[in-house]
Structure 1
Amino acid sequence: MENTAQLLEDSLLRIWNDRDAQRRLEIMKDVYATDIAFYESNDSPAFVGHQAINELIGRLQAQWPDGFKFELLLPGRVNHNIQEIRWRLGVPGDSPVATGTDIATIADGKISALYLFLDIK
């Protein structure tokens, strides 16, 4: 059994930080299940599949200044098929504009569901 949260770290640092939509889609094939569901909030339906998540990332990144990126606050943790990471978003070295936690369920070696818990400031 994998004892690191590498998939979830790859999701955040390699997919969500990448501003190239085509490259994100390629990385998603190795990290996300084809039918992955991303739950952004309890008030909205899930984004399902690589394309839907890729389009969401593109829309969000279009609102962010250059230099914005996700960084880990702590190393990721794993408990069987669940991975968790805490992160910050903003310009490295500046105060973050957001912090949060991502929780992922893993099935067949890929993230099958991803849940965002955004800290309220």
Structure 2
Amino acid sequence: MKSMSQLLEDSLLLIWNNRNSVERLELMEKIYSGDIVFFENDYSEPFKGFTAINDLIDKLQLSWPESFKFTTTDFEINHNIQYVSWVLGPDAQQPVAAGKDIAIIENGKIVSLYLFLDKD
């Protein structure tokens, strides 16, 4: 991990791309606040804490081929708010999904994370 400006990109590339749940939990402790909340959409309950997010990542990764990974396309930080744009899919092929994550950062860690999927 590099700096606060890199937190959200590290979240996506180091945590959400990682297929080892034990390693993910260790990385979460470095990147996420212990009371992290992930808002997937406006219609579902948020995921709270490392275990809930780790379980979600496991479930999602089981639903797509191992060749799928997140790649960032843009990111920026303004004080304690950061966003990253990304695509998901196999390398050098048309992505199957794209979106943005927005994070609120406090005390050098992500405390809340919001997903915005691009609509087709």
**TM-score, L = length of structure 1:** 0.95
Where structure 2 has 5 or more consecutive residues not aligned to the other structure, the ranges are none
Any runs of at least 4 consecutive aligned residues in structure 1 with deviations exceeding 6 A, and if so which?
A: none
Shift of 1:4: 5.9
1:4, 1:77 within 8 Å by CA — same for their partners in 2? Answer: no
Contact 1:85 1:103 in 2 (8 A): yes
Matches within 5 A, 1:41-80: 41-74=41-74, 76-80=75-79
- For residues 42-70 of structure 1, the C-alpha deviation after alignment (integer angstroms, 9 at most, x for no partner) is 00011000000000000000001011000
Distance 1:36 1:4, change over 3 A: closer
Tell me, in whole angstroms, the C-alpha distance in 2 between the residues paired with 1:62 and 1:34.
25
**Which residues of structure 1 form unaligned runs of 5+?**
none
Q: Partners in 2 of 1:35 and 1:87 — Cα distance?
A: 24
Q: Distance in 1 between the 2:85 and 2:78 partners?
A: 15
Aligned length: 119
Residue in 2 aligned with 1:39? 39
Q: Distance in 2 between matches of 1:44 and 1:118?
A: 14
- Distance in structure 2 (CA, Å) of the matches to 1:65 and 1:16: 14
Letter in 1 for 2:79: H
Q: Is the 8 A contact 2:4 2:108 kept in 1?
A: no
- 2:97 aligned partner: 98
